[in-house]
Amino acid sequence: MHARSGAQGRGGSQGCLRGLSDWNTAIGSIQILGGIINSCKWKVVIWLLVKFEVYFDGENWCARGISVGIFTQGKTLDELTENIKEATSLHFEDLLEAGEVLKILSISEFEVQPLAKASGC
């Protein structure tokens, strides 16, 4: 993943940016978010945003990657969170070794039951 820019900096040198240039490119549900910082020093920061749907199946908390082949579960939300981190780290091991940063977004749905009405006093 490489950053590209046609911006010209001091002295007309290619690759020297003025200010902050952000991009947001979606590849399926894995989003690449990043920015180029330090106006004339090509410091590139890239984050991979991995999205998960989180739900309770009656026995376990489950997480299913949205458009990425990752599934995991846990007895508690804390256990599920740790399992998501581990499964994502294993799935994207090569990118992590290359210095990429992963951000994980979990989407959850909770249901609140209506309260029973008390009879009049």
Look up the domain containing 43 and give its range.
10-108
Q: Tokens in use for 32? A: 């690449």
pTM of the model: 0.56
pLDDT score for 61: 94
Q: Tokens in use for 35? A: 């920015």
Q: What are the tens digits of pLDDT across the range 66-112? A: 988 999 999 999 999 999 999 999 999 988 888 888 888 887 777 78
**Is 42 domain-assigned?**
yes
d(Cα 71, Cα 77) in Å, to the nearest integer?
A: 14
Residue 121 confidence class, pLDDT cut points 50, 70, 90: low
Beta bridge partners of 77: none
**E strand map for 42-100:** 43-56, 61-65, 71-74
**Is 68 domain-assigned?**
yes
Q: What are the tens digits of pLDDT across the range 9-59? A: 333 334 433 333 333 333 334 444 444 444 455 555 567 888 999 999 999
**Is 88 domain-assigned?**
yes
Q: Which residue has the tokens 């939300």?
A: 77
Task: Give the total number of structural domains in the chain.
Answer: 1
